[in-house]
Structure 1
Amino acid sequence: MGGVTLVLAGDFRQTLPIVPRGTRADQINASLKKSYLWNHIRTMNLSLNMRVHLYADSAVGEFATKLLQVGDGLMEKDSSNQIQLPFQTLKTEEELIARVFADLDNRHTDIQWLCERALLASKNESVYEMNIKLLYRLPGEIKLYTSVDTICSQEEIVNYPTEFLNSLQPAGTPPHALLLKLRAPIMLLRNLDPLELCNGTRLIIKNMMPHVLEATIMSGKYAGVNCFIPRIPMRPTDLPFDFERLQFPVKLSFAMTKDNDLKLLDSIYQTQSFHMDSSMLVFQELETRIEKLTISSTLRH
């Protein structure tokens, strides 16, 4: 690879690398600074905040300054070793949902309105709970789709009963019991078509059939295009055994984890709120979450 220049971009104030089931020490050891290549890397710092520059708004500049204070751990702490966030916060999850999805009953047919709002959370459990709450608020009848879960190895069938497989919820895999409604926003979890239907694509359910979902792409180059999503077999890779789940490769997307939507967040969402579901936050993690919101966004703690 002589003569090849590799450009890396990132911010060390933000989240450490994710090591499944690893300790904090494992995460630090997985970072770039611990690599033998680090001594051969030339670091260059960006000096102009393009978001502030493009907005040409003093409020945006103030937001960026406060954001850096959070990332650098410079916020003042109270007697209980906690910080007071310099951003608008809400006290309850209900307030958060009402703030982002106000008038959902009347505006759920407006695709553009749904495109412009999202709830973010750090845990899949919190995302699932908020999605279900909003699904029940959506007009219409709920339809349940259950998956077919099977062990890949015939020798291990006795060790893993079907009921146990149904209870599993691996990352990036749809649930065994998938609840859906017409006009509900969903997110694709697999690449079905390299051009139109990619992992992370958001859609609106148009029709629900036993083995196929008809949906409309919400945003991007193919916004408004109707497509069909079949049930497909999926094999999670983060378990000590192999099993296959036959299910629609989708999940509800009223709420999402903070990492699922980074490629869409800045360009689409106008109303965003972050659900802080844990008090065990370090400044770097908190700064990462807030950095994905705009000055008009809301936090819930």
Structure 2
Amino acid sequence: MRVQLQNDPSAARFAKQLLDIGNGKIPMDASTKRFSFPPDFCNHKETKKDLIHCAFPNITQNYKVHQWISERAILAAKNVDVNEINITIQNQLPGETITYNSIDNIMNQDDAVNYPTEFLNSIDLPGMLPHSLKLKIEVPVILLRNINPPRLCN
């Protein structure tokens, strides 16, 4: 849909390559159980620092420009990598970090034996915020879904 709306040939090629990978049209090496990305699929970087610099050049000057920031993203397969990249980028930005902790009270005290709060706070589930969320004022945050529409919440 985005490819058609923006009429971007490079986005169309990338979308087709993603579909080919998902549909199993890219041959897999039988010995390694891996496939090789097409040469024009993406830009490979050696380090996370290089990746961040490539995706977000001059982040300290541009992070408040909504159009600029909305055109950039880094995708990662694991939450631990996403969190590390987010923290690295956020540490480059000015301002004081504020920590927001989730509420860790239980309604029934008998459940405290079965579900210790330390254990619950250590769980990092996909789609859920971490127990300890660190943010800075004016740092962009993406709202992924509305749990209680029409209010914005997550």
1:181 Cα offset (Å): 0.2
1:89 Cα offset (Å): 3.0
Counterpart mapping for 1:15-164 below 5 A = 51=3, 55=7, 57=9, 62-63=13-14, 66-70=17-21, 71-75=23-27, 77=29, 80-86=32-38, 87-90=41-44, 91-164=46-119
Count of residue pairs the alignment pairs up? 149
- Give the greater-gyration-radius structure (CA): 1
**SS, match of residue 141 in structure 2:** strand
Query: Going by fraction, where is helix more abundant, 1 or 2?
Result: 2
What code does the residue aligned with 2:75 have? L
Residue 115 and residue 52 in structure 1: after superposition, are their counterparts in 2 closer, same or farther (change >3 A)?
Answer: closer
1:107 Cα offset (Å): 0.9
CA distance in 2, matches of 1:61, 1:187: 25
* Stretches of structure 2 lacking an aligned partner (at least 5 in a row): none
1:127 Cα offset (Å): 1.6
Task: Give TM-score, length-normalised by structure 2.
Answer: 0.73
Partner of 2:152: 197
The answer to whether the 8 Å contact 1:52/1:64 transfers is no
Partner of 2:137: 182
1:63 Cα offset (Å): 4.5
CA distance in 2, matches of 1:54, 1:112: 15
**SS, match of residue 119 in structure 1:** coil
Query: Going by fraction, where is strand more abundant, 1 or 2?
Result: 1
| Greater RCO, CA 8 A, separation 6+ | 1
**SS, match of residue 128 in structure 2:** coil
* Stretches of structure 1 lacking an aligned partner (at least 5 in a row): 1-48, 199-248, 250-301
The answer to whether the 8 Å contact 1:150/1:165 transfers is no
Task: Give TM-score, length-normalised by structure 1.
Answer: 0.41
Residue 75 and residue 172 in structure 1: after superposition, are their counterparts in 2 closer, same or farther (change >3 A)?
Answer: closer
CA distance in 1, matches of 2:102, 2:16: 48
The answer to whether the 8 Å contact 1:77/1:83 transfers is yes
1:171 Cα offset (Å): 3.8
CA distance in 2, matches of 1:56, 1:147: 42
1:121 Cα offset (Å): 2.0
The answer to whether the 8 Å contact 1:52/1:60 transfers is no
1:175 Cα offset (Å): 2.0
1:197 Cα offset (Å): 1.9
